[in-house]
């Protein structure tokens, strides 16, 4: 009798976990969605080859086949990194940083962004290569290390890093993030606009290599899929000579960037 009781108990556990695990996975992927970074428009925050989690319920709940939110909570805040469908398309996803929320007055003068008169700017971050030829990690100078929050290190190197100036910018809310600018560009762009209701003004952190709201306008809230929260995988597809924070090389083309795993997105 004890033998049959154990069989029943084991069978119960098997059925329980057989139902529990798929249910958990369905719930997880209802809340989070994986997304692969396809371009360099968000460097140095996100690198091409980063795989991120997007929190789908950050701003509400969408139920297919509805295009808008079935349930809404507060919309994106300035500084949030969001994934959205390109306005005017049905299947082209972009990832950008929210710079303006409904009602904001956005001005861009000589490459400098102003939000309701607040100048979005910050100190230049001085970095050095972790080793000769390294293009993936950056060691901060003593002055820059004192300015950069610990959780935002290490700052990743990117291709053609020497052509860019990296700044630690701050928004009116105090939110900090990295942005990079091309040293060779004159920054002659000029823009002044007010963000309409239920829309957002977005920009790439790689300011001079990003197609964003400066070119094609605002992102309707209904187009936003969710908030990018963290990196869960990062692959060096570009055959770069990379190292982690301790100087250990990634191991060649298409290798894993271990030092970027499980990093939060700021």
pLDDT tens per residue, range 146-160: 899 998 988 876 666
pLDDT tens per residue, the chain (266 residues)?
555 465 655 555 555 445 554 544 454 445 669 999 988 899 999 998 899 999 988 797 665 555 555 556 688 999 999 999 988 776 778 999 999 999 999 999 988 999 999 999 999 998 877 666 666 667 788 888 889 999 898 887 666 677 889 999 999 999 999 999 998 876 667 899 999 999 999 999 999 999 999 999 999 999 999 999 999 999 887 666 665 444 445 445 457 788 889 999 99
Q: Is residue 32 part of a domain?
A: no
Q: Is residue 193 part of a domain?
A: yes
Q: Is residue 7 part of a domain?
A: no
Residue 246: give the domain boundaries: 37-260
Per the CB < 8 A criterion, the answer to whether 265 and 228 are in contact is yes
Q: What CATH number is attached to the domain comprising 88?
A: 2.10.109.10
Q: Is residue 206 part of a domain?
A: yes
pLDDT tens, position by position, 20-49: 545 444 544 456 699 999 888 999 999 988
Burial state string for 164-181 with b = 16 or more CB within 10 A and e = fewer than 16: bebbbbbbeeeebbbbbb
Is the whole model's pTM more than 0.85, yes or no? Answer: no
Three-state secondary-structure class, residue 7 = helix
Task: Write down the residue that tokens 């009602």 correspond to.
Answer: 103
Alpha-carbon distance of 164 to 181, in angstroms, equals 5
Q: Is residue 11 part of a domain?
A: no
Residue 183 CA neighbour count, 13 Å, CB half: 8
- Residue 41 annotated as catalytic: yes
Of the listed 2, 5, 36, 41, which one is catalytic?
41
Q: Is residue 266 part of a domain?
A: no
Q: Is residue 94 part of a domain?
A: yes
- The per-residue pLDDT for 153 is 86
Q: Is residue 153 part of a domain?
A: yes
Alpha-carbon distance of 257 to 48, in angstroms, equals 11
**Which residues are CB-contacts of 139 (< 8 A; sequence separation ≥ 6)?**
127, 128, 129, 130, 154
Domain total of the chain: 1
What is the DSSP secondary-structure string of 253-264?
TTEE-GGGTTPB
- Residue 96 annotated as catalytic: yes
Of the listed 96, 167, 210, 213, which one is catalytic?
96
């Amino acid at each position: 009798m004890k033998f049959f009781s154990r069989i029943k108990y084991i069978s119960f556990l098997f059925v329980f976990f057989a139902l529990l695990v798929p249910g958990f996975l369905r719930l997880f992927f209802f809340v989070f969605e994986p997304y692969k970074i396809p371009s360099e428009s968000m460097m140095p925050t996100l690198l091409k080859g980063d795989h991120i989690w997007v929190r789908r319920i950050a701003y509400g709940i969408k139920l297919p086949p509805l295009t808008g939110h079935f349930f809404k909570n507060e919309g994106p805040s300035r500084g949030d990194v969001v994934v959205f469908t390109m306005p005017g398309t049905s299947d082209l996803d972009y990832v950008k940083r929210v710079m303006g929320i409904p009602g904001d007055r956005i001005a861009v003068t000589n490459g400098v962004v102003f939000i309701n008169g607040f100048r979005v700017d910050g100190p230049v971050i001085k970095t050095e290569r972790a080793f000769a030829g390294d293009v993936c990690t950056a060691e901060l100078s003593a002055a820059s290390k004192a300015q950069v929050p610990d959780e935002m290190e290490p700052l990743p190197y990117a291709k053609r890093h020497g052509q860019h100036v990296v700044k630690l910018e701050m928004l009116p809310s105090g939110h900090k993030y990295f942005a990079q600018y091309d040293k060779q560009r004159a920054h002659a762009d000029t823009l002044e606009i007010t963000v309409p209701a239920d829309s957002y003004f977005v920009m790439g952190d790689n300011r001079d290599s990003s197609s964003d709201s400066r070119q094609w306008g605002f992102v309707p809230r209904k187009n936003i899929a969710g908030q990018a929260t963290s990196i869960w995988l990062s692959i060096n597809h570009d055959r770069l000579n990379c190292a982690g924070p301790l100087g250990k090389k990634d191991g060649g083309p298409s290798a894993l960037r271990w030092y970027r795993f499980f990093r939060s997105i700021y």
